[in-house]
């Protein structure tokens, strides 16, 4: 039910009773420490979780033979905490120790192997090594398909995980295929209001959201919310996730008042359900900040991004990628208010963390180079901007599918630099590459398509081909009027561009 303080209270009472009745290294204490560690992990207090999981491990090491399955469970638990802290290399070491114990002690098709493969895959997924993640998720799936009946919920978990990797690399049709496989199993195996069905709707909604099909995304997120409301108490953190997801769709649609309404609903739940330094509260402040940023209320945005950052500093290790996200977001606000040197300072802080925490071809590093490129472009240092945009693009070429939306962003940004340098033909070449991807993978009314049409229109205007310019700008306006609220500043930008071209004709 998510009442962690109550759980902690009862586990500690039980532990005190055991302390009076049993010797200090009794195996029962290890189970007790594990339970307490699990609660701290769920509360986001990772240092405390680690402390108790290691106490459990010490007892089991003394009391059990070296290949006992309980030791493997210990390593798994410790690995999970390191993974949550963003220390992926340590997490991997623990998960591999766990796997080696299972190898010696269990028959080759035991379900615990699938769990091991799954955990190792999760770390590779977080590290952005998607081919490795896929390799281990598929190993887990193969084992589960052999050992389990065709509608077992663990098979749905495997399909969901594989779907997530495809979603991360931008292969949305593949992601949808696996999420729908998972959903079919969940529908057959579980009662209609089971939380796992809600998760399934959530995952499908996420893909539609990434594709820019916001009405479809909302439809699935609302199905998720409907089940979650029935299945869980009103202050459960999973309800907050539902509200956050719906808020995110409205945020992308530019409906900022609706986005704020849902983000604040989520935040109220998290404030009641979680301790004040839980990383999920940091995410919540971050979401609220992003709305204020979109609305142009930069002082409010900064206030909430800094609240988010303070929590992360307390809760996470100093090189956690989530801290880099904070620095990037603060940099973004300074960029929006025109303080490019301050923006650059924060973008570089973010980049230093990501270089330490992630492998060299992680997509987050590409985003970081992209942000530094934006700062240099806004400062008018176009050769530097181009250098960083190309670094970003090279990573994306290695890490992502050729038609991933982030590839379109790369082409678009490179095009913008060439436009600012006065090379309009080169700008057009890159804008058209971006458009080709966006037309392939995004819904026909996605705001990014409008950005592409607007950019191409202005490039034709710069080349004095005004009839072509007008045709693209009008396409941009149609999409923006359909996908954004009537007061959105981008609608005015496009209308002004159209007026500018008409005057030139």
Mean of pLDDT values over 5-15:
65
pLDDT digits (tens, 9 = 90+) for 359-388: 888 899 999 999 999 999 999 999 999 999
Weakest mean pLDDT among 94-103, 212-221, 313-322, 402-411? 313-322
**Neighbour count for residue 318 (Cβ, 10 Å):** 10
Tell me whether residue 383 is exposed, middle or buried, using C-beta atoms within 10 angstroms of its C-beta: 0 to 12, 13 to 18, 19 or more: exposed
> Is the confidence at residue 1, as pLDDT, over 50?
no
Res. 411: pLDDT tops 90: yes
Check pLDDT > 80 for residue 44. no
The verdict on residue 59 lying in a domain is: yes
CA 112 – CA 102 distance, rounded (Å):
7
Among 29-38, 131-140, 330-339, 493-502, which is the least confidently predicted range?
Answer: 29-38
Q: Residue 106: its pLDDT value, please? A: 87
User: Would residue 357 be called left, alpha or beta, if left means φ above 0 and alpha means ψ between -120 and 50 degrees?
Assistant: alpha
Which of 168, 224, 163, 157 lies closest to 195, judged by CA? 224
Is 190 domain-assigned? no
**Poorest-pLDDT segment among 244-248, 273-277, 302-306:** 273-277
85 domain residue, yes or no: yes
3-state secondary structure 365-409: HHHHHHHHHHHHHHCCCHHHHHHHHHHHHHHHHHHCCCCCHHHHH
Among 153, 154, 220, 207, which Cα is nearest to 179's?
207
* CATH code assigned at 311: 1.25.40.10
Tokens 């956690």, located at residue: 320
450 assigned to some structural domain: no
Closest listed residue to residue 375, CA positions, set 362, 363, 388:
388
What secondary structure, in 3-state letters, does 256-311 show? HHHHHHHHHHHHHHHHHHCCCCCHHHHHHHHHHHHHHHHHCCHHHHHHHHHHHHHH
pLDDT of residue 17: 62
CA diameter of the chain: 92
Domain boundary among 306, 326, 357: 357
Side-chain-facing half-sphere of 494: CA atoms under 13 Å: 28
Average pLDDT of span 156-169: 95
* Overall size of the chain counted in residues: 505
The answer to whether position 256 is within a domain reads no
User: What's the average model confidence in pLDDT over 99-115?
Assistant: 90
Is residue 66 in some structural domain? yes
Residue indicated by tokens 């979401």: 287
Number of domains in the chain: 2
Q: Report the pLDDT averaged over residues 23-39.
A: 76
Q: Is the pTM of this model over 0.85?
A: no
Q: Extract the tokens encoding 41.
A: 């992990």
Residue 112: its H or E element: helix 111-127
**Where a domain ends, among 58, 83, 106?**
106
Domain closes at, from 84, 106, 128 = 106
Predicted local distance difference test score (pLDDT) of residue 30: 77
CA separation for the pair 194, 197 (Å, rounded): 6
In a domain, 379, yes or no: no
Residue 177 in any domain: the answer is no
Domain limits for position 289: 275-357
Burial 299-308 (b: 16+ CB within 10 A, else e): ebbbbbbebb
pLDDT digits (tens, 9 = 90+) for 415-461: 999 999 999 999 999 999 999 999 998 888 888 999 999 999 999 99
């Amino acid at each position: 039910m998510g009442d962690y303080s109550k759980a902690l209270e009862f586990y500690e009472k039980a532990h005190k009773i055991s302390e009076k009745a049993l010797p200090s290294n009794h195996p029962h204490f290890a189970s007790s420490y594990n339970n307490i560690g699990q609660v701290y992990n769920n509360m986001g207090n990772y240092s405390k979780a680690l402390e108790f999981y290691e106490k459990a491990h010490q007892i089991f090491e003394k009391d059990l033979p070296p290949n006992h399955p309980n030791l493997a469970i210990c390593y798994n638990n410790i690995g999970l905490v390191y993974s949550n802290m963003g220390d992926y290399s340590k997490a991997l070491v623990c998960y591999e120790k766990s796997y080696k114990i299972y190898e010696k002690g269990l028959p080759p098709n035991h379900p615990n192997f699938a769990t091991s493969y799954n955990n190792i895959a999760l770390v590779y997924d977080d590290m952005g090594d998607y081919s490795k993640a896929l390799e281990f998720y598929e190993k887990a799936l193969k084992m589960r398909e052999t050992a389990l009946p065709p509608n077992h919920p663990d098979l749905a978990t495997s399909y969901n995980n594989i779907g997530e990797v495809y979603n991360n690399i931008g292969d949305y049709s593949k992601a949808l295929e696996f999420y729908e496989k998972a959903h079919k199993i969940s529908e057959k195996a579980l009662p209609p209001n089971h939380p796992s069905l809600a998760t399934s709707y959530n995952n499908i909604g996420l893909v539609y959201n990434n594709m820019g099909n916001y009405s479809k995304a909302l439809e699935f997120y609302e199905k998720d919310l409907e089940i979650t409301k029935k299945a869980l108490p009103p202050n459960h953190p999973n309800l907050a996730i539902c509200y956050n997801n719906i808020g995110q769709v409205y945020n992308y649609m530019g409906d900022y008042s609706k986005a704020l309404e849902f983000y604040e609903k989520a935040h109220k739940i998290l404030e009641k359900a979680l301790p004040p330094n839980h990383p999920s509260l940091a995410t919540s402040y971050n979401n609220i900040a992003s709305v204020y940023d979109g609305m142009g209320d930069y002082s409010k945005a900064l206030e909430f991004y800094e609240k988010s950052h303070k929590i992360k500093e307390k809760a996470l290790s100093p090189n956690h990628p989530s801290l880099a996200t904070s620095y990037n977001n603060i940099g973004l606000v300074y960029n929006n208010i025109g303080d490019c040197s301050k923006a650059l300072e924060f973008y570089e802080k973010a980049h230093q963390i990501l270089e330490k925490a992630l492998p060299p071809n992680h997509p987050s590093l590409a985003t970081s180079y992209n942000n530094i490129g934006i700062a240099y472009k806004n400062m008018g240092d176009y050769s530097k901007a181009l250098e960083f945009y190309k670094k970003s693009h090279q990573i994306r070429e290695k890490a992502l599918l050729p038609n991933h939306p982030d590839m379109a962003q790369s082409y678009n940004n490179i095009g913008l630099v060439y436009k600012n340098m006065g090379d309009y033909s080169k700008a057009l070449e890159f804008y058209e590459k971006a458009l080709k991807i966006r037309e392939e993978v995004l819904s026909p009314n996605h705001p990014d398509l409008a950005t592409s049409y607007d950019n191409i229109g202005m490039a034709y205007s710069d080349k004095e081909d005004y009839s072509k310019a007008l045709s693209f700008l009008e396409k941009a306006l149609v999409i923006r009027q359909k996908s954004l609220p009537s007061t959105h500043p981008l609608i005015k930008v496009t209308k002004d561009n159209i007026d500018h071209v008409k005057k030139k004709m």
